Amino acid sequence: MAFLFAMGGAAQVTRAEEACLEDTDQLGEYGARKGVQKRDFLKRMRLETSIWGGFFASDLLSTSYNYGGALAFYPFEDLGIEASLMVTQFNLGVEKPLTQFFSGQVFQPSLAYVLTGNVVWSPIHLKMRATEKAIVHGDLFFVLGGGNTFNDTVQGATFDVGIGLKIYPNRWIAIRFDLRDYILLQEAVAVQRVTNNLVGVLGLSLFLPGPRYSK
């Protein structure tokens, strides 16, 4: 008999917990959590256009600025393809001492154009409390791809891997933060080696067509 009472009590607790997990339930008196909420921002079958700017921390050359943008399409909610262009200046901070030592110009500063194609994977969806009544949505994403860097110092292909965060203040735009590593074979001042170039950008994205709502 005691066993039957115990089983009945367990069933009641289970039903109570299930009731607390309904999507329409509010936060309970005793702090019962609400059910899983649907995404407020959907990317599937939408085009993303981005502009960005930031820093380019070169492994062989001097740290410089960068600017550019990207165009991405999402056939699936968490998976997309992206084409990006980044423009930065390749410069050598020790150029003046080397010029004095070699009695001439040893490195000519120039612009580099980095064109890559990437796969974008967004496995983690975030929710952050902005105010007492407002929740801001976001995505943590990863990129992997390759392409080419158009500059005389670069020999061969360019590969990139990175991580980023997108914040969606509304259903049209996103604020994005990207941190990427561009891997390339580079030669400067008679030194040739594979370099890792750390790139950080802050950007703004526009999603087309119009807003899509979760169903």
Express each pLDDT in 16-67 by its tens digit. 334 344 444 444 444 445 545 567 789 999 999 999 999 999 988 889 999 9
- Tokens 């909610």 correspond to 77
Q: What is the pLDDT of residue 133?
A: 80
Distance CA 68, CA 38 (A): 33
The values of phi and psi at residue 77, to 5°, are -65, -40
Buried b (16+ CB within 10 A) or exposed e, 46-56: bebebebebeb
Report domain extents, the chain.
Answer: 1-36, 46-208
- Is the domain spanning 46-208 CATH 2.40.160.20? The answer is yes
Ranges of the chain with pLDDT below 50? 1-32, 35, 103
Looking only at the bridges linking them, the beta strands covering 46-57 and 191-208 are: antiparallel
Is pTM beyond 0.95? Reply is no
CB atoms within 10 A of CB 80: 22
